[in-house]
Amino acid sequence: MDDVNPATAEVFAQIPLSNQDDLKAAINSANKAFPMWSKMSVEKRANYLMKISSLIKENLDQLAQAESQDTGKPLQLARVVDIPRASANMEFFAHAITQFSSESHSGKNSINYTLRRPVGLVACISPWNLPLYLFTWKIAPALAAGNCVIAKPSEITPYTAYLFSRLCIEAGLPKGVLNILHGQGPEIGNTIVESENIKAVSFTGGTTTGRRIAEISAPLFRKVSLELGGKNPALVFADCDLDKAVEGLVRASFTNQGEICLCASRIYIEKSIYEQFKGKFVDKVKALKVGAPDEQSSNMGALVSAQHLDKVRRYIAIAKEEGGRLLCGEEPIELEEKYKHGYFLRPHVFENLPNTCTTNQEEIFGPLVSLNVFQGEEEALLLANDSEYGLASSIWTKDLSKANRIADQIETGIVWINCWMNRDLRTPFGGMKNSGLGREGGLEALRFFTEPKNVCIEY
């Protein structure tokens, strides 16, 4: 199928549509490789991951270019965030597996120790917004723990997954250890998930797809890790460092065109500073440059596809119907001829929307945020928690006692205080409510990709 550059709307590559036979071949080859890979010493496995990590670094330019071309994101963002993080994922889990240990419990006249064996054949399915970054975030711990992997990138952004497969071959990764299948989610993605040979599924994507994967997996008693959608609140208190909050929240709202599951989408501001915050925030948003992804000065590039652009535009129309007042977003975008048909959209900021409305409840996953008012800590918390999602939140205040009280009660798996997207790969990463099940990162990921087996010795 065609692979489209969203900045130009032109087809630049074609990708295979894998089918049932490709999956059979992948399962066969993974099964052949599993005894060797799972028994290999952790040091040797870690060396392969380190080699792949180095090759990603060596090929930074090509990979960043490919990621930008495939997603429409600014090249600079791919250079400093996406690709370095993909390399860091491989390196992090190469180190982590050599430090991974299991528990031992000594009793009155017995001792128990827990073995942690690789699960077997596992599936890693990732979305289009941070393609190589999220693809490797799953593959690295799965491989490090000794599993063989069937992986599927999003058909919308498959290019860096393909380049990554070539780097894995160059690194000498044994055949069958990692099998990448390209194609459409509802076709090959679904076929992978339905296969009884797959013993665990690590999935990042939309809540509807996640629910379907959970339904298929439940009767198979298979492990699932589901990183799903979000509708992330940000709470801005009157006692915050206002300039820092404004700057942090412009970044939180519109980095990667707002196409990050962690992006802030509902900003709640304490009444006494609402107008002040709004003025500074809107000025900064208006100054963001939406433009050619390869231009250093562009803060935002194109949305990922025509379909996604339509979706975000539908939400803009809904926000207006719901009584939202548009504060910015409809200014023209200056683009050179080559980008005239690209899927560009200016960042949109709305106010005057009730908390219960569609704009404030549904995940949009694009450059649209709402500004809302609250009075006092209690109302801030009520509004933040009034959502079916629970992925990430941010709290902006100089009062750390208050921040910690809220962090304790806010219903999100990740809480940032006076910052956003400050990531430490050792920490548990994931959401609650409809934002998912399970946690990725550090030991959580290595536990997910291993099966504990307890051994008891009586003496």
Catalytically active residues, by annotation:
227, 261
Q: Among residues 133 and 374, whose Cβ is nearest to ligand NDP?
A: 133
Residue 127 interacts with ligand NDP (CB under 6 A): yes or no: yes
For residue 51, the minimal CB distance to ligand NDP (Å) is 26
Cα separation of 260 and 265, whole Å? Answer: 10
Find the binder of ligand NDP among 82, 155, 270, 444 (CB under 6 A).
Answer: 155
User: Of 68, 69, 76, 209, which one interacts with ligand NDP (CB under 6 A)?
Assistant: 209
**Which residues have a Cβ under 8 Å from the Cβ of 109 and sit 6 or more positions away?**
458, 459
Sheet holding 104-106, edge to edge: 104-106, 110-118, 450-458
CB of 82 to ligand NDP, least distance (A): 12
Residue 402 tokens, joined = 């208050």
Closest CA to 433 of 380, 386, 379, 381: 386
Comparison of 116 and 138: residue with beta carbon closer to ligand NDP? 138
Q: Does 129 bind ligand NDP (CB under 6 A)?
A: yes
Only segment of 181-189, 331-339, 368-376, 377-385 that touches ligand NDP (CB under 6 A): 181-189
Which of 136, 154, 360, 387 touches ligand NDP by CB under 6 A? 154
Give the pair of three-digit tokens for residue 83.
């690709």
Binding mask of the shown chain, residues 81 to 120, with x at each position contacting ligand NDP by CB under 6 A? ----------------------------------------
Distance CA 409, CA 58 (A): 44
Nearer to ligand NDP, 367 or 431 (CB): 431
Question: Which residue lies nearer to ligand NDP by CB, 365 or 374?
Answer: 365
Residue pair 450/145 in contact (Cβ under 8 Å)? The answer is yes
Does residue number 253 form part of the binding site for ligand NDP (CB under 6 A)? Answer: no
- By CB under 6 A, tell whether 185 contacts ligand NDP: yes
Taking CB positions, which residue lies at the least distance from ligand NDP? 185
**Does residue 252 bind ligand NDP (CB under 6 A)?**
no
Asked whether position 205 contacts ligand NDP by CB under 6 A, the answer is: yes
CB atoms within 10 A of CB 295: 14
- DSSP E strand stretches across 375-421: 389-390, 392-396, 414-417
Non-local CB neighbours of 307 within 8 Å, separated by 6+ positions: none
363 touches ligand NDP by CB under 6 A? yes
The alpha carbon dihedral of 284, 287, 291, 292 has a sign of negative
- Smallest gap from Cβ 131 to ligand NDP, in A, equals 9
In the shown chain, the binding pattern of residues 217 to 236 toward ligand NDP, with x for contact by CB under 6 A and - for none, equals ----------xxxx------
Q: How far apart are CA 206 and CA 228, in angstroms?
A: 5
With CB under 6 A as the rule, give the number of residues binding ligand NDP.
30
Looking at the Cβ atoms of 154 and 253, the one nearer to ligand NDP is 154
x/- mask, ligand NDP, residues 257-296, rule CB under 6 A, reads: ----x-----------------------------------
- Asked if 123 contacts 152 with a C-beta cutoff of 8 angstroms, the reply is yes
Name which position in 128, 237, 350, 448 contacts ligand NDP (CB under 6 A).
128
Query: Tokens 């939400």 identify what position?
Result: 315
* Structure tokens, 399: 């009062």
Give the integer Cα–Cα distance in Å for 156 and 185.
Answer: 10
Amino acid at site 105: H
Contact range with ligand NDP by CB under 6 A, out of 51-59, 91-99, 152-160, 346-354: 152-160
Selection from 450, 451, 442 nearest residue 137 by Cα: 442
Q: Are 63 and 56 in contact (CB under 8 A)?
A: yes
Backbone angles phi, psi at 289, to 5 degrees: -100, 120
Per the CB < 8 A criterion, the answer to whether 127 and 205 are in contact is yes
Residue 206 interacting with ligand NDP (CB under 6 A): yes
The answer for residues whose C-beta is within 8 angstroms of residue 166's C-beta and 6 or more apart is: none
Q: Kindly tell me which of 347 and 438 has the beta carbon lying closer to ligand NDP.
A: 438
| Residue 125 sits in the site that holds ligand NDP (CB under 6 A) | yes
Regarding 438 and contact with ligand NDP (CB under 6 A), the answer is no
With binding defined as CB under 6 A, does residue 2 bind ligand NDP? no
Please tell me whether residue 427 binds ligand NDP under the rule CB under 6 A: no
- Cα of 393 vs its chain's centroid, Å: 15
**Residue 186 interacts with ligand NDP (CB under 6 A): yes or no:** yes
How many angstroms separate the Cα of 410 from the Cα of each of 311, 361, 384?
29, 16, 7
In the complex, the smallest distance separating the C-beta of residue 428 from ligand NDP, rounded to whole angstroms, is 12
- Dihedral (Cα; 434, 261, 161, 50), 10-degree rounding: -100
Q: Which of 23, 75, 121, 156 binds ligand NDP (CB under 6 A)?
A: 156
Per CB under 6 A, which of residues 296..315 are in contact with ligand NDP? none
CA-nearest of 172, 131, 171, 125 to 18 is 125
Instruction: Catalog residues that contact ligand NDP under the rule CB under 6 A.
Output: 125-129, 152, 154-156, 184-186, 189-190, 193, 204-206, 209, 212, 227-230, 261, 363, 365, 391, 431, 436
